[in-house]
């Protein structure tokens, strides 16, 4: 019909997709309950769906996607989310990643039609950002710039509104999260402040040694890298937004991994940063001796599947292989027993 605007599947996604579940999680009877936003239930499997949808939707409205090609530096979930949204919008996407990204992530991006470039692991995310910037400049592609794009944090205003609506008490004493770009924690902190809530934003950090070969997305999980000298939305907020209050809470890397496995056993198919966030939230409540009715919120950022080839799953792989061998041995024993019985039957 003339004059009718035909909506695309992406339009419906932007309009209808919100309100991931918020659930109270208690792993031990003697610790504080933590309200956890299940962001791994977003379509591509992570909280980064929110920023991908928001940033590209806004860029499209502003005429910034005329080249039809998007590029971003990302070691994980942001690349997958952007590949997902670009596929829905009919755009091409190129991800630039440091060497060492898990194969599952690359497979997922390629399945969604994306291309990728790898930079030497020694150059890290800074090297990936420089290469993405060069590609954008040379080809007139849209460069997302998640580490400095304020729309990253703005995307999480809606996340904050959802949390306020979903919390029975409609009050939040603390929100706890690790820092990658800083967009999630800064966006939530801004939202809660604008809604006149007295909420403390707690930055989760690791202490101890990161195990070789373990691929965890949240950059604050990697001691000695990024956070000390890497500008992002969190460091910018610290310098420029005096109205936001942040505190840091350290937890050990081993505790983060142990907590992740306990969440699996509880029925949450999450990545290691979820265990990290939850452990930091519980430890913060204990350290501060928070009242029993205090409300602490965190996010479960992504799903377990993108970590299958990493060290996080080595014991699971070993256990599975052992179970398979045991089943095969049992089958072989049954077959041998049956053969013996058959031979005895013939002799009779």
Q: What digits encode the pLDDT tens for the residues 217-265?
A: 454 444 333 444 567 888 888 888 878 889 999 998 889 989 999 999 9
Nearest CA to 124 among 236, 277, 228? Answer: 228
Coil/strand/helix, residue 222: coil
The one-character DSSP state at 120 is -
Length reported for the chain: 348
Question: Across the strands, what pairs with 35?
Answer: 24, 297
Q: How does pLDDT run across 66-121, given as a tens digit for each residue? A: 999 999 998 788 999 999 999 999 999 999 998 888 888 899 999 999 999 999 98
Distance of CA 257 to the CA centre of its chain: 15
Q: What stretches of the chain adopt beta strand conformation (E)?
A: 22-25, 34-38, 69-73, 92-98, 115-119, 142-143, 174-178, 200-207, 246-252, 296-300
pLDDT of residue 12: 64
Q: In this structure, are residues 214 and 312 in contact, taking their beta carbons and an 8 Å threshold?
A: yes
* Contact of 259 with 216, CB cutoff 8 Å: no
* Strand-pair partners of 201: 175, 246
Please tell me whether the overall predicted TM-score, pTM, comes out greater than 0.85 for this model.
yes
Q: In sequence order, which residues have a C-beta less than 8 Å from that of residue 297 and are 6 or more positions away?
A: 22, 34, 35, 36, 37, 163, 167, 172, 174, 175, 176, 188, 281
pLDDT at 214 over 70: no
Residues ≥6 apart with Cβ < 8 Å to 318 = none
CA distance 145 to 228: 19
Find the helix or strand (DSSP H, E) in which 288 lies: helix 272-288
What per-residue confidence (pLDDT) applies to 84?
96
> CA 43, CA 268: separation in Å to the nearest integer?
16
Cα(91)–Cα(86) distance, integer angstroms: 5
């Amino acid at each position: 019909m003339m004059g009718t605007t035909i909506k695309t599947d992406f339009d419906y996604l932007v309009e209808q997709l919100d309100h991931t579940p918020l659930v109270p999680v208690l792993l031990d009877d003697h610790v504080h309950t933590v309200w956890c936003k299940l962001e791994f239930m977003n379509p591509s499997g992570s909280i980064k769906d929110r920023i991908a949808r928001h940033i590209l939707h806004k860029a499209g409205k502003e005429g910034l996607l005329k080249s039809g090609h998007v590029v971003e530096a990302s070691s994980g979930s942001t690349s997958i989310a952007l590949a997902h949204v670009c596929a829905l919008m009919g755009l091409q996407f190129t991800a630039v990643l440091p060497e060492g990204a898990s194969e599952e992530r690359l497979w997922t991006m390629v399945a969604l039609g994306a291309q990728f470039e790898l930079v030497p692991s020694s150059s890290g995310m800074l090297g990936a950002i420089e290469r993405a910037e060069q590609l954008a400049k040379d080809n007139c592609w849209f460069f997302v710039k998640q580490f400095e794009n304020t729309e990253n944090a703005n995307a999480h205003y809606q996340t904050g509104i959802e949390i306020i609506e979903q919390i029975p008490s409609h009050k939040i004493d603390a929100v706890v999260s690790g820092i990658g770009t800083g967009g999630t924690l800064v966006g939530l902190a801004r939202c809660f402040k604008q809604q006149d809530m007295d909420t403390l934003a707690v930055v989760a950090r690791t202490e101890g040694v990161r195990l070789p070969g373990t691929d965890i997305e949240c950059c604050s999980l990697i001691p000695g890298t990024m956070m000390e000298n890497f500008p992002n939305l969190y460091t910018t907020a610290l310098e420029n937004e005096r109205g936001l209050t942040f505190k840091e809470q350290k937890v050990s890397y081993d505790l983060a991994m142990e907590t992740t496995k306990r969440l699996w056993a509880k029925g949450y198919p999450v990545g290691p940063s979820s265990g990290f966030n939850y452990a930091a939230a519980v430890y913060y409540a204990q350290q501060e001796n928070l009242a029993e009715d205090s409300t602490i919120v965190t996010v479960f950022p992504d799903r377990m599947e993108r970590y299958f080839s990493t060290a996080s799953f080595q014991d699971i792989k070993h256990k599975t292989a052992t179970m398979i061998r045991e089943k095969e041995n049992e089958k072989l024993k049954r077959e041998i027993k049956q053969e013996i019985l058959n031979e005895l039957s013939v002799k009779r």
